[in-house]
Amino acid sequence: MTKNHDYSFRNREFCKVPPLKPTPNACGNGVCIIDESWEIIVPRSDSRLVRYYAEDLCRFFGDAFGVFLRIRWVQDIKPYLEKPEKYILLTEEKDVPDCPVASATEGTFRAVITKNHVLITGKTERGTAKGVYYLEDSMRLRGECGLIPEDAEHAPLFFPRMTHSGTELDTFPDNFLEAAAHAGMDAIIVYAGHPDSHLHGFKDPDPLWPGACRGYCDFNNLVWRAAGYGLDVYVYSHLLCDVHPDEPGAAEYYEASFGKLFKTCPGIRGLILVGETFEFPSKDPHTCGVRFQLKPWDEPRPSPGWYPCYDYPRLLTMVQDTIRHYDPDVDIVFWSYNWGGVEKEARLSLIENLPKGITMLVTFEMWQIFTGENGQTHKIDDYSLAFPGPSNVFTEEAEKAKELGIRLYSMANTGGRTWDNGAVPYLPAPQQWQKRYEALCQAHESYGLCGLMENHHYGWLPSFLSLFAKNAFTTNSMPNDAMLLQIARRDYGEYGALAVRAWEAFSEGMSNVVASGFEQYGPYRCGPTYPLLFDQTKDELEIPTVPWAWHDGAGIWNPVYADPVLPHYQPILMRHSHVKKVVSCFAEGLALLEEAAEKLGAVSGGEIASQIAVARFLYCSFLTAEYVMEWQMAKKLLVTGEQDIPDGAREAIGERLGITDPTADGLAAYMRRIAEAETENVAAALECWKEDSSIGFEASMEYVFNDVFAQWKNRETERSLMRLDEFMRGR
């Protein structure tokens, strides 16, 4: 029996704090010490958010320190401001005329902490909430029931910070909303395929994307619940757009979808539109003129969602006018993700013609091209931490947005997860994340970047990175290096320096990842589940996914490794060299992290055991990718006729793989050794899943690795070895 099982991670009280003891960050003397003689003072309010953050702070003191404070709800705050001794006053700017908050961002707060009182003043109640979480974060870091004196204003650099759900696609339980708010998020993202439904539920008979699902969603209730935690709701559109805006009846067509949604759900804060789910019958001759799902198989031109069509502004204007008839303040976000590979002139021309009032969203790191030592090029195919950014594409589009005065957001993956691995809740590479944080902050200064999309459908789950990011994206905060060390000391005590060194190794590893589609849509997407196939086709594989997964079957990964290896073998050798470096770095980091845990006496089931499980699973995933490449190269040499193997390929591949016997028997023996090593690797990965059930889960695909997938993978390995033996007997 395992203590974890599928989905048990959803049952965590993400924000519950255990009893705290002083950490190496503790200050001892010189702090504002809080005891049970203190009170929390809050202006009387009917706001659910105000009641939540006041009660949350009260619970924090009780759970963390056994200090039980009274909450006093007052009609008039003035007497308590005049004599604030032993009070924690939670107020808004309107309540405290003598304590102005300079920033106009509603998430801003001012913290005035002396030895005998604490005053948190938010620009709005959402700012006050962030101030409460700031106090809690500070006490968690130090493990002491006291606060360091200060008088400083703290403003979020990015507003909103948006996240999908990491617990289940389009599903937002209260424990997730609570965690998102504590982590500094300002908004959640939910898919909409119809005016009254999201995409998770039962099969849609008329989906925009095959395999997409449709389920009734009470958007108004979701808006109401999210607001209780200080979060807005953004809708990510999958609404059909099969009528050109210039056609007769177009206004009525879009009124029946976008109009109905915002008429019946006026609390929705924003709408996200992206090419692949916002296609229309464009008249742009660069495209085939119909959406991807209707495109003829032999049509060489892209569908409209993959090109910056000249008539996209007409569609945007139609949708904008339809929506803003009901709410003039809706944030309409247009994302340029799908045409990053198109020539600069076409992309910038579209931006120049966008209707006023549209927000642009630009992916931060994608499309960047690199040249290696041997002159080979490779690019960031999809979301990756390997390159902190910004890419040239982002810079070009951000500069144009600044020139035109367009509000600018970025898809930055700063929730901690990318397509470098689809089966871990976060990438524990904080020094590499720090580079991205700092690049984003520079883009804030240079281009006015003001909002972040923190993740796509794979969602976000809390981790030690959550506080690290929040601190980096807040003014008057701790320097990044200092905050990282404090987090390490919070979690690993006096052995925090070992954790920092481990994270440095993981970060070095992530910087060596090659974000190739072969891996990102292959072994990186599903980790050690990825099969070693001999000649099996995709149709032969009975992948044990669940029928309620949005991306079911093989989901968004290709189980048949797509790199043909020959005749152009140099690219796979390049990627193999990189992944071996990644594996080496993760092995080094794991040894350091496990040394810290052993010295600390960490036990299974705790936070440190979970962190080690995540790191080890990543190690296993990258090792799977290495083995897949080696299996594929050896197999191609084995099954390819000598006349089809280019000069030098056999020698170069054999030397790289260390194959001393290049005969068929030698290659087959090598493949059997790879299969045996990978079976051991799967067993190690399975222990990680047993420790933390968030491992192996991705919200749009559900589980891509667990005990069932491990068994399936091993059966496929055995079947491949049987087919290898049959091949050898038939030679």
- 330 in the same domain as 432: yes
For residues 204 and 199, give the distance between their C-alpha atoms in angstroms, rounded to a whole number: 8
pLDDT at 413: 97
d(CA 693, CA 392): 38
- What's the pLDDT band for 554 if we cut at 50, 70, 90? confident
Tell me the pLDDT band of 551, cut-offs 50, 70 and 90.
confident
Instruction: List pLDDT tens digits, range 556-579.
Output: 899 999 999 999 999 999 999 999
β strands within 3-149, DSSP E: 32-33, 39-43, 70-74, 87-92, 109-113, 117-122, 146-147
The answer to whether residues 699 and 166 touch, using CB atoms and an 8 Å cutoff, is yes
**Cross-strand partners of 234:** 189, 270
In a domain, 491, yes or no: no
3-state secondary structure 634-670: HHHHHHCCHHHCCCCHHHHHHHHHCCCCCCHHHHHHH
pLDDT above 90 covers what percent of the chain?
89
Residue 523 has pLDDT above 60, yes or no: yes
How far is 525 from 696, CA to CA, in rounded Å?
Answer: 10
Predicted confidence band at 1 (pLDDT cuts at 50, 70, 90)? very low
pLDDT at 605: 81
101 close to 122: Cβ distance less than 8 angstroms? yes
485 found inside a domain: no
What is the count of structural domains for the chain? 3
208 or 583, which is more confident: 583
Residue 214 clears pLDDT 70, i.e. is over it: no
- 103 and 237 share one domain: no
Is residue 484 in a domain?
no
pLDDT score at 83: 95
Of 606, 595, 583, the C-alpha closest to 677 is 583
For 481, residues 6+ apart whose C-beta sits below 8 A from its C-beta are 434
pLDDT in tens, 67-80: 999 999 999 999 99
Residue pointed to by tokens 């390049």: 574
Three-class secondary structure of residue 338 per DSSP: helix
633 assigned to some structural domain:
yes
> What was the pLDDT predicted at 112?
97
Question: For tokens 């068929």, what's the residue?
Answer: 664
pLDDT (tens digit, 9 = 90+) per residue, 285-340?
999 999 998 999 999 999 999 999 999 999 999 999 999 999 999 999 999 999 99
* pLDDT tens per residue across span 143-160: 999 999 999 999 999 999
The two structure tokens encoding residue 90: 């939670």
The angle formed by the CA atoms of residues 441, 180 and 429, to the nearest 5 degrees, is 55
| Domain extent for 95 | 8-154
| pLDDT value at 522 more than 80 | yes
Does pLDDT of 141 surpass 90?
yes
Whichever domain contains 59, its CATH number is 3.30.379.10
Regarding whether 621 and 522 lie in a shared domain, the answer is: yes
| DSSP conformation letters of 435-492 | HHHHHHHHHHHHH-EEEEE--STT-B---HHHHHHHHHTBTT---HHHHHHHHHHHHH
Q: Rounded mean pLDDT of 530-538? A: 96
Residues 714 and 599 in one domain: yes
* Domain presence at residue 500: no
Cα atoms in the 13 Å half-sphere on the side-chain side of 437 = 23
Alpha-carbon dihedral sign for residues 593, 595, 596, 602: positive
Q: Do 253 and 147 reside in the same domain of the chain?
A: no
The pLDDT score that the predictor gives to residue 553 is 72
pLDDT score, position 208? 77
**407-459 pLDDT, tens digit each:** 999 999 999 999 999 899 999 999 999 999 999 999 999 999 999 999 999 99
CATH of the domain at 217: 3.20.20
Residues 88 and 104 occupy one common structural domain: yes
pLDDT of residue 731: 83
DSSP, residue by residue, 275-301: GGGS------TTS-SS-GGG--TT--S
Distance of CA 658 to the CA centre of its chain: 38
Picking from 100, 133, 154, the residue at the C-terminal end of a domain is 154
Q: Are residues 272 and 406 in the same domain?
A: yes
Taking the alpha carbons at both ends of the chain, their separation in whole angstroms is: 46
What is the distance between the alpha carbons of residues 159 and 38, in angstroms, rounded to a whole number? Answer: 34
690 with 722, same domain: the answer is yes
> What one-character DSSP code corresponds to residue 527?
G
| pTM reported for the whole predicted model | 0.95
Q: How many whole angstroms separate alpha carbon 20 and alpha carbon 143?
A: 5
Residue 431: C-alpha distances to residues 115, 480, 481 (Å) = 35, 9, 9
**Please, which residues have CB within 8 angstroms of residue 425's CB and are 6 or more apart in sequence?**
9, 166, 416, 417, 461, 463, 614, 692, 694, 695, 697
The answer on 149 and 176 residing in a single domain is no
- Same domain for 106 and 201, yes or no, is no
Per-residue pLDDT at 200: 73
* Gap between the Cα atoms of 214 and 204, Å rounded: 5
Nearest alpha-carbon partner for 185 in 412, 484, 509, 402: 412
**652 within domain boundaries:** yes
Domain end, chosen from 477, 499, 532, is at 477
> Is there a single domain that holds both residue 295 and residue 403?
yes
335 close to 383: Cβ distance less than 8 angstroms: no
629 in the same domain as 569 = yes
Among residues of the chain, what percentage have pLDDT more than 70? Answer: 98
**Among 51-60, 95-104, 146-155, 356-365, whose mean pLDDT is lowest?**
95-104
Question: What tokens does 413 get?
Answer: 């993956």
Looking at the domain assignment, is residue 107 inside a domain?
yes
Q: Is residue 495 part of a domain?
A: no
Please, what is the average pLDDT of the chain?
94
Query: Of 154, 188, 218, which closes a domain?
Result: 154
For 452-503, what is each residue's pLDDT tens digit? 999 999 999 999 999 999 999 999 999 999 999 999 999 999 999 999 999 9
The Cα 696–Cα 705 span in angstroms is 4
- Report the pLDDT value the prediction gives residue 210, as an integer from 0 to 100: 62
Surface-to-core class of residue 207, CB atoms within 10 Å of its CB (0-12 exposed, 13-18 middle, 19+ buried): middle
